Structure 1
Amino acid sequence: MQCPQIVEPEKSTQARRHALWSTCSPPHQRNSPMATTCPARARVPLTLQRSHVCQCVFIRSPARVGAVVSRAEASTAERRKTAVNMRTPRRRRHRSLTATAAATAAIAALSTSAVAPALASDQPPVNIVEMTPELTKKMQHEVDTFFAKHDLPGLSVAVVTPARAGSDPVITTFVAGTPTLGSSELVDATTQFELGSETKVFTADLLAYLVATDRVSLDDPVQLFAPAGVEVPEWTDPQTGATTAITLGDLATHQAGLLDAPPNLGAGCGADPGCENPRPGYTQTMLWDAFAQPCLNGQPCPMYQPGTDWLYSDWGFGLLGTILANVLDPVIETEPPAYQSALDQAFLDALGMSSTELEFHGDGRLATPYKADGTNAFHWDNTNAISGAGGLISDATDMGTWVAAHLGYVPSTAPIGVQAMADTLQPISDITMSCSIPDQCGPAHFQMGLGWELHHAATHDVGAAWAFKNGLTDGSSTDTALAPSLRVGVTTMYNKRLSDTDQGLPLAITLLKLLVADQPAPEPAPSAAPQAALAESGQPTAELIVPGMMAAGFVAIGLLLIIRRRGHGRRSTR
């Protein structure tokens, strides 16, 4: 059975630009029961199997990726062009000397290469974690076990590993169950799930993009973005009276000293006494008004000195998402922030992630959320002022693409917003004190990137340094775990909120441990061939070195003549 060739995806109604194409192949053998055709899907630039496992090796399309260039990137390129045109004669002389040095180095390089052993250029890097049939079988077993143990309605998993060459990703999906209990429909890689707090990393991606394009800085105080008349409180040292302002970086690392929920979140329900979910009605005005209220038991915000203790905060990330959305696409305070539009501009459009959006359940692809007891949960619908903390939905197709981008599987021609996503995995702060509620704090030993928790290899015995983020809504759960050094990652999504006593080790971490454990042992470094072996080939060492040195000498002389001639030509035109 033939899998489809490279398929160019159709443009969606949102006119997204698809940055990647893909081609799918059966995971192992063509006579395997899992080796079914992966149907093309128009909404995203991937083709994935409807059930069980399908592997997609991405093929980059640099021209399409490069087509999405922001105004900031264009202006940066223009400044660089101007700088090049304004080079002084001294700068040109420096380039001439550099070329001379390079030519001299070429002689040495050729001389060295004459006696060095030849290495194959197409060999894959060492320590590549390959999705072998055996590893796939182990992962399928863990997926099936987790699905049955927790009595899940539906489950969808995306696993990212390197292709054989090491430069492109392979995305393998595992699915189980149904999006709605009692339905004959099966979960597939296009089934959407509520991401919950995994949205926070998307907000961090947006922050990384705006930092990379010099729109904002991690050290910018929140006060800088507050509406007129709003005063963002600062922390005051009780002994010295010195004050510390909350910054964007504090919001992105849960070190702003803000509670999980803003103290006035209930205002989003208005006068409705039966309101379960205030998030859709919680406006920008309410978000900023929250600073006028005490944090807890009359104590003003922030609870701690910003930049120190770790206190998880939906409030902080919701505020960050609204601030950043207004930097890119400002709207009046009475309207919901343009969070979706900001993500589209920054990286979603460039990656073709058209299934990642603020919660919308009109087309029937969103899995029905369920409480721990199996009853229907309310839809999260976090679509207003704190959407940056947990408002997105997505599917395994998009999440695989998203994980791959964080692991660096992007071409050098990709837009800044796509390239900056990997920056969120860089350590920003060391967390030594973690607080669940203000009077319950304890020692901690992890780091924070932007949105990501960064853990040591020994944590949960993963075996490699790893990053983690999870999400939880009233009826859905998600987890993402990455091992950046191995360029592998896992995302899991299921439409049930587990009870506090039914948590256990997240499936994403279990699968990541399998990936890390499967890495091959490093091969010994190649050694130079002895001169005796060269002599046996009929080419003594001296006979290899001399022609190489002569050729390099001619190259150096030619470079100097060209540089001088060009320099003379430029001077003569003045």
Structure 2
Amino acid sequence: MINVVLAVSRHGRRVVHHGGTGPRPPVPRPDLRYEIGSASKTFTGLLLARLVERGVLSGGEPAARCLDPGRRAGPDPVTLAHLVTHTAGLPALPADFYPRALPAWRTAPYGRYPAERVVAAFLRHRPRHRPGTRWHYSNFGVAVLGHALSTLTGTPWEELLRAQVLRPLGLHGTAPRPGGPAADAVGHGKDGRTPTPPFDAGGFDAAGAVRATPHDLLTFLEAHLDPDGSPLAGALRAVRTPVLRRGPGRRHVHTMAWFRHPTDAGPMYFHSGATLGQQAFLGFRPDTGTALAALCTRRFRARDPFIATAYGLLAQSGP
């Protein structure tokens, strides 16, 4: 079974398409809350930008010192900015993640790796490359960033996200935990039939724990399209600003929160994500005033058609 929601905003006008291959859920599909996996990093990037804008921190703080105040910073410390831009020299996951996760690989692999292990793995890790010199996508790094922000502010990441991002933007159907007033969508494995349990992010909340309704995701994306008037205006503008370029022709551009690719008319910003049984694509194009949130309750196999289709829809959207 699979449920699919395509939520589109064009110049503030919303259209939501939805359907599925199984029985209709008891709650309408557009009202369910979906796991967005790694697209959660766009929320964490905005949170960091918000804290920088408010002068709570600069982004240049050594992450190890944030987590262990007694530690001396070396000549090339990993900073918060390195963590959010995937330039910290960290692997995708800690070296000992897989042995711990394997017994629960199909149910809760991240749940077997709690916050204290994430922090301990980072504090003992020695980067292979000088921070800031190479890009390597890292769930590990963004998870560490979440713990560093929590330690610096004395506020759990979940509460920090609610206070600094969710409530100011009016995202009442968004949360890092299952349950609450909104009903959660049920995911399915690669066979399209086997239900998967709610995603447990373990110590990786900042990298993949967010759940949101389609309309909340459109509200989030619309704020990026038109930051003026938003209580997070400065931070929203900051996360649209390129911070590094890489790849052939330097085509791959990154901000604090988004991948940015060129189109014929202007740049598009996007991020995708997946959990054990759900997938998501979030993106927006300032040149056409278009925002797209694509969600489904099945984890596809390799050569994923869902994410590629959503990317193509946004890339080809006209004025």
TM-score, normalised to structure 1, is 0.51
**Aligned residue among 475, 481, 500 for 2:277:** 475
Alignment of 1:325 with 2:117, yes or no, is: no
What is the 5 A alignment of 1:159-198?
Answer: 159-162=8-11, 169-177=12-20, 181-183=22-24, 185=26, 187-198=28-39
SS in 1 for 2:15: strand
Alignment of 1:448 with 2:254, yes or no, is: yes
Pick closer, same or farther for the CA change 1:502–1:315 going to 2, 3 Å.
Answer: closer
The alpha-carbon deviation at position 176 of structure 1 amounts to 1.4
SS in 2 for 1:206: helix
User: Which residue in the other structure is 1:497 paired with?
Assistant: 299
Structure 2: which 5+ runs fail to align?
none
**Aligned residue among 36, 41, 50 for 1:200:** 41
What is the 5 A alignment of 1:510-549?
Answer: 510-515=312-317, 517=318, 519=319
Contact 1:351 1:418 in 2 (8 A): no
Q: Counterpart of 1:373 in structure 2: which amino acid?
A: D
1:360-381 C-alpha deviation (Å, 9 max, x unpaired) = 1466721111112122234222
What is the 5 A alignment of 1:126-165?
Answer: 153-162=2-11
User: Which residue in the other structure is 1:211 paired with?
Assistant: 52
Q: What is the alpha-carbon root mean square deviation over aligned residues?
A: 2.7
Contact 1:407 1:487 in 2 (8 A): yes
Pick closer, same or farther for the CA change 1:494–1:209 going to 2, 3 Å.
Answer: same
SS in 1 for 2:251: strand
Alignment of 1:358 with 2:173, yes or no, is: no
1:534-567 C-alpha deviation (Å, 9 max, x unpaired) = xxxxxxxxxxxxxxxxxxxxxxxxxxxxxxxxxx
Q: Counterpart of 1:448 in structure 2: which amino acid?
A: H
Distance 1:395 1:201 in 2: 16
Distance 1:363 1:209 in 2: 27
**Aligned residue among 448, 462, 465 for 2:267:** 465
Q: Counterpart of 2:242 in structure 1: which amino acid?
A: P
Q: Counterpart of 1:177 in structure 2: which amino acid?
A: G
User: Which residue in the other structure is 1:220 paired with?
Assistant: 61
1:409-463 C-alpha deviation (Å, 9 max, x unpaired) = 542xx42x35412321110112248xxxxxxxxx8631110121111225xxxx4
User: Which residue in the other structure is 1:393 paired with?
Assistant: 211
Contact 2:3 2:29 in 1 (8 A): no
Distance 2:163 2:244 in 1: 28
Contact 2:173 2:212 in 1 (8 A): yes
Distance 2:20 2:69 in 1: 51
SS in 1 for 2:186: coil
The alpha-carbon deviation at position 290 of structure 1 amounts to 0.3
User: Which residue in the other structure is 1:148 paired with?
Assistant: none
User: Which residue in the other structure is 1:373 paired with?
Assistant: 191
Contact 1:254 1:310 in 2 (8 A): yes
The alpha-carbon deviation at position 256 of structure 1 amounts to 1.0
Distance 1:161 1:282 in 2: 41
Pick closer, same or farther for the CA change 1:246–1:511 going to 2, 3 Å.
Answer: same
Contact 2:67 2:151 in 1 (8 A): no
The alpha-carbon deviation at position 505 of structure 1 amounts to 5.7
What is the 5 A alignment of 1:28-177?
Answer: 153-162=2-11, 169-177=12-20
The alpha-carbon deviation at position 255 of structure 1 amounts to 1.0
Q: Counterpart of 1:369 in structure 2: which amino acid?
A: G
Pick closer, same or farther for the CA change 1:419–1:381 going to 2, 3 Å.
Answer: same
Distance 2:69 2:267 in 1: 44
Distance 1:274 1:466 in 2: 37
Q: Counterpart of 1:424 in structure 2: which amino acid?
A: V
Distance 2:171 2:104 in 1: 36
Number of residues of Structure 1 aligned to a counterpart in Structure 2: 317
1:249-301 C-alpha deviation (Å, 9 max, x unpaired) = 111111111111122335876xx95574243353332122103555xxxxxx3
Larger Rg: 1
Distance 1:220 1:228 in 2: 11
Pick closer, same or farther for the CA change 1:325–1:160 going to 2, 3 Å.
Answer: farther
What is the 5 A alignment of 1:554-573?
Answer: none
TM-score, normalised to structure 2, is 0.88
Distance 1:210 1:156 in 2: 32
Higher RCO (CA-CA < 8 Å; seq separation 6+) = 2
Pick closer, same or farther for the CA change 1:230–1:285 going to 2, 3 Å.
Answer: farther
Distance 1:184 1:288 in 2: 39
Q: Counterpart of 1:223 in structure 2: which amino acid?
A: A
SS in 2 for 1:501: coil
Q: Counterpart of 1:210 in structure 2: which amino acid?
A: L
Distance 1:457 1:183 in 2: 37
Alignment of 1:431 with 2:272, yes or no, is: no
Pick closer, same or farther for the CA change 1:214–1:268 going to 2, 3 Å.
Answer: farther
Distance 1:314 1:513 in 2: 26
Alignment of 1:284 with 2:115, yes or no, is: yes
SS in 2 for 1:219: coil
Contact 2:268 2:315 in 1 (8 A): no
Contact 1:231 1:291 in 2 (8 A): no
Distance 1:474 1:231 in 2: 39
SS in 2 for 1:289: helix
User: Which residue in the other structure is 1:250 paired with?
Assistant: 82
Distance 1:184 1:190 in 2: 10
Pick closer, same or farther for the CA change 1:231–1:392 going to 2, 3 Å.
Answer: farther
